[in-house]
Structure 1
Amino acid sequence: MRHRPAPRIDALERPSRFVDEQLRGPFALFRHEHRFEPLDGGTLMRDHVVFRGPLGRLAEPVLRRHLLRLFEERNRHVAAAAERAAGDLG
């Protein structure tokens, strides 16, 4: 039986930052810090991820590329949703 990843919010500092960490899942360690900074009338979102893969350092280069693509795709969706919401307000 596969266990679904279970994140836990470890830190929350509204509106500038929050940290989630995997409690169980495919990674030996997965800690994700989200930072939000005002920028030119909008918001800059930065992700900082610390992880250790299930196969140790051997798989990290492949996992790093995969995670980068996942975050880029997610960020495109977040940006599009935020722009739609801003348009609905204006």
Structure 2
Amino acid sequence: MQSPDYFVDEQVKGPFQRFRHVHEFSQDSEGATMVDRIESAVPLGPIGRLAEKLVLARYLQRLIERRNRHLAGDSTHE
């Protein structure tokens, strides 16, 4: 954590071979902006990469977008 600029969630144990989620914050004239950066690696070689491409990438994107809408106070897309 480097308050107020960013913080990082990193998997210690779980389904990913590696998972790192960086939340970066910046101030602008409208208030605060948050940018999410995700780095991940999946286990199981080619099968894992195929699952990542077909399912996991889209799932993670939707999850982050939904969470960000919630943080922004937009409940119209729940």
Q: TM-score range by the shorter chain?
A: 0.7 to 0.9
1:19 is displaced (CA, Å) by: 1.1
Q: TM-score, normalised by structure 2?
A: 0.80
Normalised by the length of structure 1, the TM-score is 0.70
Offset at 1:39? 2.1
Amino acid paired to 1:80: G
User: Would you say the 8 A contact 1:32–1:50 is kept in 2?
Assistant: yes
Q: Deviations over 1:16-41 (max 9, x none)?
A: 11112100111111001100011223
Does 2:64 match 1:75?
Answer: no
- How many pairs align? 70
When the two chains are superposed, the root-mean-square deviation of aligned CA atoms in Å is 1.5
Provide runs of 4+ in structure 1 moved above 6 Å: none
The structure richer in strand per residue is 1
Which whole-Å CA distance do the structure 2 matches of 1:39 and 1:75 have between them? 17
State the identity %: 51
Q: Which amino acid aligns with 2:73?
A: A
Higher RCO (CA 8 Å, separation ≥ 6 residues): 2
Residue from 6, 29, 38 that aligns with 1:17: 6
Point out where structure 1 has 5 or more consecutive residues left out of the alignment: 1-11, 82-90
SS state at 1:23 partner: coil
